[in-house]
Amino acid sequence: MKKVKLTTEKVLEAFNVVSTAKYGKLDDQDKVRVWKIARALKPTADKFADDRDDAARKLLPTEDFEERRAKAQQYQAMLGDKQADMTQAPMTPAEFWKFFNENIAYNKTVNDALAEYGKKEVEVEFEPLSEEAFGKLMASNDWTFDFALKLSEIIC
């Protein structure tokens, strides 16, 4: 078994990759090992996702923010449709840009609130992959070399 200290952000990144990876070229034993690595990373990834969702809900700047977000998305879709009648738009251009700036500030607030959690180190224990198995995992997926190098530092 390998014990690894990783930041929550790194766990989340590795979990998202490993849990969606294709295992086609791995033998059965290595497929199980990759699955177990994902299972070891999952509790931390799930906790961070729950914290992110909680922060996103509780830090909404106004009660009608989600409603205005939906209108802004409709407005933006109408802008992309050359045949759209902009007189029927759900908001004015000024309202759209006001919301756009509020949304940027809101996203920054949520990201800032979660920054310390993302940097928090956690210890994860799992059976690492061999270099040969990792090579097969790479061959099963369309990853850049830089990306694969970062992942190999975690799971090998």
Contacts of 8 (CB under 8 A, 6+ apart): 44, 48, 117, 118, 119, 120, 121, 122
Work out whether the CA dihedral 5, 10, 12, 17 comes out positive or negative. Answer: negative
pLDDT of residue 145: 83
pLDDT of residue 155: 85
d(CA 153, CA 155): 6
Q: What is the pTM of this model?
A: 0.76
Local mean pLDDT, 10-residue blocks, the chain (156 residues) = 90 90 91 93 94 95 96 94 90 96 97 93 92 90 84 84
pLDDT of residue 64: 96
pLDDT of residue 43: 96
pLDDT of residue 2: 84
- Helix residue spans in 93-144 (DSSP H): 93-119, 131-140
Ramachandran category for residue 26: left, alpha or beta (phi over 0 → left; psi -120 to 50 → alpha): beta
**What is the per-residue DSSP string for 50-75?**
HHHHHHHHHT-SSTTHHHHHHHHHHH
Q: Are strands 121-126 and 2-7 parallel, antiparallel or unpaired?
A: antiparallel
